Amino acid sequence: MSGTISIGVAGAGVFGGHHAGKYAGMTTARLAGIYDIDPDRAARSASAFSTRAFDDYAALVSAVDAVVIATPATTHYALALAALEARRHVFVEKPLAMRAEEAEALVALAEKQGLVLQVGHQERYVAAAIGLLDHVARPVRIDCVRRAAPSDRCRDVSVVFDLMIHDFDLVRQLTNDAPAKVTAEGGHDEARAELVLENGTVATFSASRAADDLRRTMRLVYERGFIEIDFLQRSVVNTTDASLSGDFDAVRGGMALTDPLGLGAGKFVAAIADGAAFGPAASGQPEASGQAYVSGRDGADAVSWACAVESAVFSNGSSKSPGGSANGATSTEERVRA
């Protein structure tokens, strides 16, 4: 695609505003409009970024080359589907969808239409920048913890789809493997899960959005040593024989550490311009591990893991998530393949 790419943002909330700001400041893209179900909120956001307000989603889609979806998670599938059917490129904030079959349908449609479908797993760029995704050894065990204070955000989904899904994407990238068994417990705001991957790696996930402290940590145990990462404190302990190239150095890490959302937005525009919907950039040179845009395939795999974990959580006697995808399984152990 040649020329300036016109971008429309669906969602005029806080995160929609963050996205709008990234595209408003680009020279290779033009923020062509902002849609929200609340016309007044759309108007306020559009005014802030000197663009057009839309109170009709179909009108926004018809007016742009690509759509960024930053609406509540339970609306992602329907809005992405409508945009792809209209042959528009799509960026969807995580999660891609709330059901695995819906995510797969979006991936298949994007492939059929030859469109870019990117998902907002921005933390992938942070892991890549510090060199974590370049570590070729297979971890024996991975322990992931995410704890956040109570808030009103993302109440339409459980903590599995809100917080834990970040770590699903990272563990997928680190292992290139699928879960063979899932055991989980918890509820809407706190959950714990253990996934035994097909290669034998054990990955544990603990997430809470009702905590009195903030934590975002990952510990990877290898046959020779371990790596402990504190994403909030920006610290790394590494006893393995492999070096981490970045170690949270902002100069070496660049935008991946200082502005991962902006980096992802730039990759979305570049993928559209290069016609790189399903592979390396037009130059034919693949990007470094984890640095390419996060594809719809990546997003669908993360949704598959989240569905399996949430199903196990809520089949264990907890109340079902208001926007979740628990499917009535009768065991806390689910056999899945991403």
pLDDT (0 to 100) of residue 287? 44
CATH superfamily of 123-247+297-334: Dihydrodipicolinate Reductase; domain 2 (3.30.360.10)
Torsion angle of C-alpha atoms 81, 328, 151, 98, degrees rounded to 10: -10
pLDDT (0 to 100) of residue 336? 39
Is pLDDT of 328 > 60?
no
CB 73 within 8 Å of CB 157: yes
| Residue 17: band (very low, low, confident or very high) from pLDDT cuts 50, 70, 90 | very high
Give the C-alpha separation, 201 to 214, whole Å. 27
| Residue 58: band (very low, low, confident or very high) from pLDDT cuts 50, 70, 90 | very high
pLDDT (0 to 100) of residue 13? 95
Is pLDDT of 101 > 80?
yes
Tell me the average pLDDT of the chain: 88
Q: In this structure, what token pair is assigned to residue 267?
A: 């990759």
Per-domain residue ranges of the chain = 5-122+259-294, 123-247+297-334
Please tell me which residue, 297 or 327, carries the higher pLDDT value.
297
pLDDT (0 to 100) of residue 292? 56
pTM for this predicted structure:
0.89
Q: In this structure, what token pair is assigned to residue 119?
A: 């998902």
| Residue 246: band (very low, low, confident or very high) from pLDDT cuts 50, 70, 90 | confident
Percent share of the chain, pLDDT over 70: 88
Give the C-alpha separation, 64 to 200, whole Å. 46
pLDDT (0 to 100) of residue 191? 97
Percent share of the chain, pLDDT over 90: 75
Task: Read off φ and ψ for residue 162, nearest 5 degrees.
Answer: -85, -55
Of the listed ranges 25-29, 207-211, 316-320, the one predicted with least confidence: 316-320
Three-state DSSP state, 238: strand
| Residue 337: band (very low, low, confident or very high) from pLDDT cuts 50, 70, 90 | very low
pLDDT in tens, 270-303: 999 987 544 433 333 334 333 457 999 999 999 9
CB 121 within 8 Å of CB 291: no
- DSSP designation for 121: -
CATH superfamily of 5-122+259-294: NAD(P)-binding Rossmann-like Domain (3.40.50.720)
